[in-house]
Structure formats: C-alpha cells, structure tokens
Amino acid sequence: MTQTWFITGSSRGFGAALARAALEAGEKVVATARKPADLDALVAAYGKRVLPLALDVTDRSAAVAAVAGAVEQFGRIDVVVNNAGYANIGPIETTGEDDFRRQFDTNFWGVYHVTQAVLPVLKAQRAGIIAQFSSIGGRVGGTPGLGSYQAAKFAVDGFTRVLAAETAPLGIRTIVIEPGGFATDWAGSSMSVHDIPADYAVTVGAKANSLTQPAQVAGDPERAAQILVRVMKRDSLPTHLVLGAGAVGLAQNYSRAQLAEVDEWAAVSRSADFAEPFPADLPGN
C-alpha cells in the first residue's frame, strides 16, 4: 500500500533525504519547511506526489493547519516524522535562558505540537506511525555544550514512551530514531557557538572545536533514509532505532554500564523497602 508521509524540516539534512527516499519508493510526501520555496526542487522532481507546506513547528496553530492541509490533499497520513530540530553550543552556566528556551521550543515543543495535531487523524484511521528524531545523545547524554538540545531529546524519548502506551490500542505505532554522526548540516550554518569561558575550555570548548571543524563523518543520510522507508513498511517496529556504527557502540557501552551500576548498588537500593535488610553496606570506598 502506498503510504503518505508527513515530514517536518524537509528542506535539508535528514528531512530532505527522507523525503527523497520515500518518493523514490513511490510514496506521497507532505514536505514541510519554514520556507516552502526551499522545497521547489523536490516538487519539480516529483510533481503532485509532493505537497509543500509552510510550517514553523513552534507554532501550534501552524501545525494544526499543516495537518489539515495534508489530509485535504491526500486523504490520510500514514507516517509522521518529527525531524525538525537544531542545536547551539554553550555552557549551561552561561547560555542565556532565551536561547535555551528557543532550542527547547523547536526540539521538544515542536514535536509536541505536531504529534498532538496529528493524533486525531491517526486515531480516526486506527492506523499510523509517529517517528520521532532524537539522537544517540538523547540516549547516552553527557555531551558538553549541548545542554538544551540533549535535555529536549531526553524529553522527546520520555514523551514518546508515554505516547506509545496511550495509543497502542488505537492502532498507532511509535519509533524513536537515534542517529550518531551523519553528513548533514546539523553542525553547520544552523549551529551557533556562544562565548565559552576559560573554565569550560577543556569540555565545552573542545566539543565545539570538534563539532565545527571539517571532519570525515561515517553516517550517510541517504542510506539512513532508505533504511527508514523500509522499516516503516514493517508490521512490527523497534521502539528505538540506533543509526550508525559509532552510535551502536555508544548505546551498547552505555546500557552495559547502566546495568552494572544498578547491580553494584542493588542491595542498597532494595534496603529502602520496609521488608528488606537495613542498613546495607555501601559498595566501594
């Protein structure tokens, strides 16, 4: 069955690659961007199977209007991809609240707006997939300088876990996508680097240098997009899909370390219950 995709942030990066991959597979695509003119090449290449729409995901009413326009044009929505997002770099201590909030507005509240707008459509269909773009940082965290971005990605993950539990009986499926380093513009023109005090030079400063310098990245967004188009055709989806060899290693090491820590402190953790032995010996020094 031909699917209709609704993709935010379709003008570049993963969004553009995913729109092309879906169209190459014969699907229909509602491609959204802040500036619809940025989608002209996509429309020229694929014609009426593309519906270009203006969408600033931080505007809830715009999300509602875009979803309505998609249904009016194509009759249904099968795959929703919340891809729009960006990051700036700066220490938590010195990054201004306005910038921190603006990032969160796009990276979390944009996901919330689009998800909430599309749920009545998917619920009426008793079918549909909501795919949330996170990052491997949204699983392992701890990247200096990306406080707002990674906090939002952790929030998207928690939000989507609850969403999955609430909507599974309605025929709605979810997946969280966690890419590692890919050859997109994520660390390019859309990223600002704030002033970094000397105290943070070896943490935030070092990460800023590594992200903003030209580097060979392993991830191919075109391949990743083709993988996702194939995955969305499956009857069963993984709850989370890590993309990229480096991201797989990070995810595995993080999960092993988490489990080892829980095991190490298990007796102490259990001792908080009335029925358990108390006090328990603290591990280590």
Is residue 8 within 8 A of residue 84, CB to CB? The reply is: yes
- The residue annotated as part of the active site, out of 112, 149, 200, 207, is 149
Nearest to 68 by CA among 51, 91, 84: 51
Q: Rounded to whole angstroms, how far apart are CA atoms 49 and 47?
A: 6
- The residue annotated as part of the active site, out of 134, 135, 200, 207, is 134
What's at 114, amino acid-wise? V
Is residue 246 within 8 A of residue 218, CB to CB? The reply is: yes
- The residue annotated as part of the active site, out of 10, 112, 153, 200, is 153
Q: At what angle do helices 13-24 and 221-231 cross, to 10 degrees?
A: 50
Indicate if 254 belongs to the active site. no
Give the distance from CA 43 to its chain's centroid.
25
State how beta strands 128-133 and 4-7 pair. unpaired
Indicate if 153 belongs to the active site. yes
Q: What is the enclosing helix (H) or strand (E) of 32?
A: strand 28-33
What's at 150, amino acid-wise? Q
Q: Which residues are catalytic?
A: 134, 149, 153
